[in-house]
């Protein structure tokens, strides 16, 4: 399964981090969140990636150009400059880094990848959100219903502690930042048939407005409900939350060994 990762946005709500790098390169546990997303996908056998670049895409290119060298041991002969790599610990991913424009909308980025993706189905997700979703179950659900697109529906984490209060004002229950009935939202991890491209016109196409809304109206959009963990990284607060999970050794999205 080929995976499209949308990694070209400006990340303005995380400006303190994204002035010097694109949001998918903001680190959690010393690794870009983009790496975490790719590790998750690869765990379920989806290890060919098309990264749609835009804002500061050169930072992502540089990261993957140096990836093999920077993640292994080496011997350097200083007099000649010869380098011998002593081991090969890298993941066996195939990574396509595709410039999709600085101001291109989400749908436009997917549309630009059409010649690269070929005739088969593919996954699309965002470069700033992690989850513990079982991607093989998602694919099985998609194949069973026969529609053009499946979107993963998630419940957003509540921003504040939840209270259950009786008539006298006594707090019967307090839950810190629970995932409760706030309604389902688009959590990314979309499985798409090539027919999606018929809903995308060009660079100014929005994946969400121009494609998903129209697909829903045409009865071609299904939702896979994922009640488990999902968290986007929109703000510094979100980043700190993910970092806290990782440092505590209880990151829910770490489904790999």
pLDDT tens sequence across 140-194: 999 999 999 999 999 887 665 565 666 776 655 665 555 555 578 999 999 999 9
- Among residues 157, 143, 112, 119, the alpha carbon closest in space to that of 7 is found at 112
DSSP output for 194-239? GGGGGG--STT--IIIIIIHHHHHTT-EEEEEE-S-EEE--SHHHH
What does the mean pLDDT of the chain come to? Answer: 91
Dump pLDDT digits (tens) for 19-36: 899 999 999 999 999 999
Strands 2-7 and 162-165: unpaired
pLDDT tens per residue across span 222-233: 999 999 999 999
The model's confidence at residue 68, banded by pLDDT at 50, 70 and 90, is confident
For 253, list phi and psi in degrees, rounded to 5.
-80, -5
Tell the CATH topology of 2-247: Spore Coat Polysaccharide Biosynthesis Protein SpsA; Chain A (3.90.550)
> Side-chain half-sphere of 6: how many Cα atoms within 13 Å?
26
Q: Evaluate whether 86 touches 75 at the Cβ level (below 8 Å).
A: yes
Distance from C-alpha of 235 to C-alpha of 221, rounded to nearest angstrom:
29
Report whether pLDDT(47) > 60.
yes
> What per-residue confidence (pLDDT) applies to 35?
98
Which of these, 100, 106, 102, lies nearest to 206 by C-alpha position?
Answer: 106
pLDDT at residue 207 is higher than 80 = yes
Token code pair at residue 91: 């993941």
């Amino acid at each position: 399964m080929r995976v499209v990762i949308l990694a070209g946005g400006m990340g303005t709500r995380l400006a303190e981090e994204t002035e010097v790098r694109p949001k998918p390169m903001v680190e959690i546990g010393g690794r870009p969140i983009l790496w975490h997303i790719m590790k998750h996908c690869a765990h379920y056998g989806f290890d060919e990636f098309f990264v749609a670049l835009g804002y500061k895409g050169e930072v992502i290119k540089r990261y993957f150009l140096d990836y093999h060298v920077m993640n292994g041991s080496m011997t350097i002969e200083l007099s000649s400059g010869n380098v011998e790599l002593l081991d090969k610990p890298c993941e066996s991913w195939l990574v396509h880094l595709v410039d999709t424009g600085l101001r291109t909308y989400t749908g436009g980025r997917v549309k630009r990848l059409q010649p690269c993706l070929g005739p088969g189905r593919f996954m699309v997700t965002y470069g700033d959100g992690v989850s513990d979703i079982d991607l093989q179950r998602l694919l099985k659900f998609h194949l069973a219903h026969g529609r053009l697109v499946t979107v993963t529906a998630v419940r957003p984490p509540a921003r504040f502690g939840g209270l259950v209060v009786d008539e006298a004002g006594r707090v019967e229950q307090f839950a810190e930042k629970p995932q409760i009935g706030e309604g389902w939202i688009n959590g990314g991890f979309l499985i798409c048939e090539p027919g999606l491209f018929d809903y995308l016109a060009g660079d100014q196409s929005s994946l969400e407005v121009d494609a998903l809304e129209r697909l829903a109206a045409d009865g071609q959009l299904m939702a896979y409900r994922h009640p488990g963990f999902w968290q986007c990284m929109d703000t510094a607060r979100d980043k700190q939350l993910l970092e806290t999970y990782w440092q505590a050794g209880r990151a829910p999205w770490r489904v790999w060994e």
